[in-house]
Chain A
Amino acid sequence: MIRMLDHTADVGFEVRAPTREALFETAREGLLRLMFQHPPTQGSATREVTLQAPDLEFLLVRWLNELIYLVQTAGFVPARAAITITEDAQGFTLRARLEGQPFDAEAMGWQGEIKSATFHGLEVRPETSGWWARVVLDV
């Protein structure tokens, strides 16, 4: 579940999913929906991503920022992600195998640049039947 948030200067969304991994995958989808009118849902190119962070909120910001970088600088649009998240004494590690396509502004209906995911109003929390998160992005 993705709910877009209205923020006067920026944009944001809330996501809900049954697992932590699904939450991060849904957040990827939310980000792509902000970036593109027709975000791709599959692709033949692949990329591996590994990210570490002291907590899940930090990890979510890093994840979204990594995706922004991949789209805007590497020209790779991540259409799907197989994610695992592990926890140890240092915090959390996210490993993702991304399937995607080369950036195509016209075909994908590019809607404009996003500068970054922010820590403002950021929240990731477990619920009785899964996980919930909210994130604000600077556009």
Chain B
Amino acid sequence: MDNVPFERLDRYTYRIPRHGKMWVDAVFYANDEILAQLEAEGYASLKQLVNVATLPGIVGPALAMPDIHWGYGFPIGGVAAFDPTAGGVVSPGGVGFDINCGVRLLTTRLTREDLEPRKTRLADALYRRVPAGVGSARRDVRWSPKDLKTVLREGARALVAQGFGEAADLERIESGGRLPLADPDRVSARALERGGPQLGTLGSGNHFLEVQYVDEVYDPEAAEAYGLWVGQVTVLIHTGSRGLGHQVCQDYVERFLQAARRYGIELVDRQLAAAPIESPEGQDYLHAMAAAANFAFANRQLITHNVRLAFEDAGFLPRDHQLRVLYDLAHNNAKFEEYAGRRVLVHRKGATRAFGPGAPDVPPAFRTVGQPVLVPGDMGRYSFVLAGTPGAMTRTFGSSCHGAGRQMSRHKAKKAARKRNLIAELEAQGILVRAASRATVDEEMPEAYKDVASVVDVVHGAGIGKKVARLRPLIVVKG
């Protein structure tokens, strides 16, 4: 077992009992296929989960979703809650470099058939309107340092106030598109410099913009509440806080490495650098992280505005497309939430908030069925919409998976893709790809990812999310 002893609790739930320097148990969700993948990587990601359980003030268990894979510091797919009143810590490595990276799903009233004749025009318009890849700087909209700070304070609201979107969009964004703790003055000048020109851009790597259609509905009641129906065209946006968030993470990991020593926090991995939530360093990070999170909400808001314009470029009037935000959620952040009467700071790194029915932070329209949980897959297969469940509230601090998880390194994927023309292959399947670089498409080849259906089946089977609908890609824009 290579030093990670675990036991099976039920069909999909596994426990690593507290041992060594762990303060609490660790729990992860998997099926046989996922277990085999964990074994193949020498249980590296489970060892990282064990490391998370050694951090002070953790309220157990340390958790990993079924899309768990090897990250740095925390595993990707990791969830951990800390009690501020019991010496609990905050760790920038538990949030990740791409602060508030997340997904936003837009619905339309168009059918797949409506789209087909204008698909190429739309693909080109989206690629033109939403800068991707490097150079991913907007030249049409410039933000003065003062305006940028307003964006960091107000999030998506700042964009709507300037005419980039509609007030109704804000009701469908996690936390209303604004984390109130945000303080731009705790964000470094370099972070502002990196982020300024990147607002409204997609970036590269695994980020994308996808036009899709609903090909299957599993839960008619939830689908109706979400406004989803078979054959409907949807748009999924996956991106985060760009260079601004990366710099905030960098700045604070460096500062926390020094702070951890001062607070006597023993780090088994330096990327786990942490400081007490209540310390000046912890507070500075939480305020800076919230500002970066607001940048990410605003980023997805500006992209949404430009998606609407792209549909118009392709000849769809607003009354025809009726692009609406179904939901926008983050999968890299830390938030104060209450469970069993205890206020804790929940870190989600590559994990999605998945509040169940009745939770006050869920938009009223979804409150009877739970919040939408958006789970992107790879660009060749499908993505899923799930609903938050009561099970997630009691077992995973209201969390669920965030995606498929890689199974092939970027290097291997590039090598495997070298002799193929992935763009032509995808086109033959009816998927138009517009990409800033072939390298990104190769790295992101469908086979580089686990089958997201397997991950989603574990989430559904374990009762920490409920399958609502499946979406298939039609157009993919990549950095």
Chain A at the B interface: SS class: loop
Bound together, the chains give a CA A51 to CA B194 distance in angstroms of 19
Contact across chains for B70 and A8 when beta carbons are under 8 A apart: yes
In the complex, which residues 58-109 of chain A have their Cβ closer than 8 Å to any Cβ of chain B? 58, 61-62, 65, 69, 72-73, 103, 105, 109
| A41 close to B (CB within 8 Å) | no
Interface membership of chain A positions 38-61, coded 1 if the CB is closer than 8 angstroms to chain B and 0 otherwise: 000000000000000010011001
Bound together, the chains give a CA A6 to CA B73 distance in angstroms of 17
| B83 close to A (CB within 8 Å) | no
Chain B at the A interface: SS class: mixed
Closest CB of chain A to B320's CB: distance in Å?
Answer: 35
Contact across chains for B193 and A73 when beta carbons are under 8 A apart: yes
| B411 close to A (CB within 8 Å) | yes
In the complex, which residues 10-29 of chain A have their Cβ closer than 8 Å to any Cβ of chain B? 10-11
Question: Which residues of the partner chain B approach A121 to less than 8 Å between Cβ atoms?
Answer: 72
Contact across chains for B412 and A9 when beta carbons are under 8 A apart: no
Contact across chains for B204 and A112 when beta carbons are under 8 A apart: yes
In the complex, which residues 436-455 of chain B have their Cβ closer than 8 Å to any Cβ of chain A? 436-437, 439-440, 443
Contact across chains for B406 and A37 when beta carbons are under 8 A apart: no
Interface stretch (choices B113-121, B265-273, B275-283)? B265-273
The A/B interface has a contact count, at CB < 8 Å, of 107
| B84 close to A (CB within 8 Å) | no
Bound together, the chains give a CA A89 to CA B386 distance in angstroms of 56
Bound together, the chains give a CA A58 to CA B254 distance in angstroms of 8
User: A119 and B439 in contact (CB under 8 A), knowing A4-B411, A58-B254?
Assistant: no
Q: Which residue of A lies closest to B478 (CB)?
A: A112
Question: Which residues of the partner chain B approach A111 to less than 8 Å between Cβ atoms?
Answer: 437, 439-440
Residue among A10, A61, A110, A115 making CB contact with B134, cutoff 8 Å = A110
Closest CB of chain B to A52's CB: distance in Å?
Answer: 11
Listed by A's residue number, 19 A-B pairs whose Cβ atoms lie within 8 Å are A6-B412, A7-B409, A11-B411, A54-B258, A65-B250, A69-B247, A73-B193, A73-B243, A105-B134, A111-B437, A111-B440, A112-B133, A112-B134, A112-B204, A112-B440, A119-B269, A120-B71, A120-B73, A120-B270
Question: Given contacts A112-B437, A113-B205, A136-B72, could you give 8 more A-B pairs where the C-beta distance is less than 8 Å?
Answer: A8-B408, A58-B257, A111-B439, A112-B133, A113-B134, A119-B270, A121-B72, A138-B72
Q: Interface residues, chain A, CB within 8 Å of chain B?
A: 4, 6-11, 37, 54, 57-58, 61-62, 65, 69, 72-73, 103, 105, 109-113, 115-116, 118-122, 136, 138-139
8 tightest Cβ-Cβ pairs between the two chains A and B: A120-B72, A119-B270, A120-B271, A6-B409, A111-B439, A112-B204, A115-B97, A115-B246
